[in-house]
Amino acid sequence: MSDIPLTQIDEFRWKIEPTGGMRVPGIIYSSRALMKTADEGVRQVANVAHLPGIVKASLAMPDMHWGYGFPIGGVAAFDLDEGVVSPGGVGYDINCGCRLVATRLSFPEIRESLKDLVAALFRNIPSGVGSTGVLKLSEKEQRHVLVEGARWAVGRGYGTESDLETTEDGGCLAGADPEKVSPRALERGRPQLGTLGSGNHFLEIEVVEDIFDPEAARAFGLERGQVTVMIHSGSRGLGYQVCDDFLARLVKHVRTLDLNLPDRQLACAYLHSPQGKDYLAAMACAANYAWANRQMLMHWTRETFERTLKKGPRELGMRLLYDVCHNIAKIETLPVEGRERTLCVHRKGATRAYPPGHPALPDRYRAVGQPVLIPGDMGTGSYVLAGTERAMAETFGSSCHGAGRVMSRTQAVKSSRGRAVARELAERGILVMASGKETLREEIPEAYKDLDAVVDVVHRAGLARKVARLRAVGCIKG
Q: Just list the catalytic residues.
A: 401
CA–CA separation, 377 and 375 (whole Å): 7
Q: Cα 361–365–366 angle (5° rounding)?
A: 60
Q: At what angle are helices 114-124 and 274-309 packed, to 10 degrees? A: 140
CB within 8 Å of 258: residues ≥ 6 apart: none
CB within 8 Å of 420: residues ≥ 6 apart: none
- Kindly report the three-state secondary structure assignment for every residue of 66-109: CCCCCCEEEEEEEECCCCEECHHHCCCCCCCEEEEEEEEEEHHH
> Residues 351, 399: contact at Cβ < 8 Å?
yes
CA–CA separation, 451 and 199 (whole Å): 18
* 405 DSSP assignment: B
CA–CA separation, 400 and 9 (whole Å): 19
For the purposes of burial, counting CB atoms within 10 Å of the CB of 331, is it exposed (0-12), middle (13-18) or buried (19 or more)?
A: middle
In degrees and rounded to multiples of 5, residue 201 shows phi and psi of -75, 145
> Residues 347, 439: contact at Cβ < 8 Å?
no
> Residues 267, 70: contact at Cβ < 8 Å?
no
CA–CA separation, 320 and 76 (whole Å): 29
Q: If we measure between CA atoms, which residue out of 125, 131, 156, 162 comes closest to residue 142?
A: 156
